[in-house]
Structure 1
């Protein structure tokens, strides 16, 4: 099966502050204290999920 060229994350404000992000169609979830932190956490989560494979482009939407 071919790896995706992009992954879309749905971003919501967390009740306790900060942001939550979840990938649509994948079991990838993460959190960040602010938008800058969230972007870094999403990139790390995607890299961990796909490992050594080619990492797809990330799209964040709120």
Structure 2
């Protein structure tokens, strides 16, 4: 495995949530900088050193609704 992709969304109570696609890894943080650290830590905890992905991709989804 060369990379793992996280879906990042705004949390309802503020901050951000991140969920790995295809793996049971979830984390959250108050700021995007903190989220980056949390995601790296979660990946290190989830994967053994020899099979850890070389790339972590954060796919940030922001849903906006505009009134017509």
TM-score normalised by the chain length of structure 2: 0.81
Q: CA deviation at 1:51?
A: 3.0
CA distance in 1: counterparts of 2:38 and 2:50, whole angstroms:
18
Matched, 1:19 2:12: no
Look up the SS of the partner of 1:60 in the other structure. strand
Structure 1 unpaired stretches of 5+: none
Find the counterpart in structure 1 of residue 56 from structure 2: 58
CA distance in 2: counterparts of 1:16 and 1:51, whole angstroms:
33
Structure 2 unpaired stretches of 5+: 61-68
In the alignment of these two chains, the number of paired residues is 59
Equivalent positions of 1:31-42 (< 5 A) are: 31-42=28-39
Matched, 1:46 2:60: no
Root mean square deviation of aligned Cα: 1.0
Q: CA deviation at 1:32?
A: 1.0
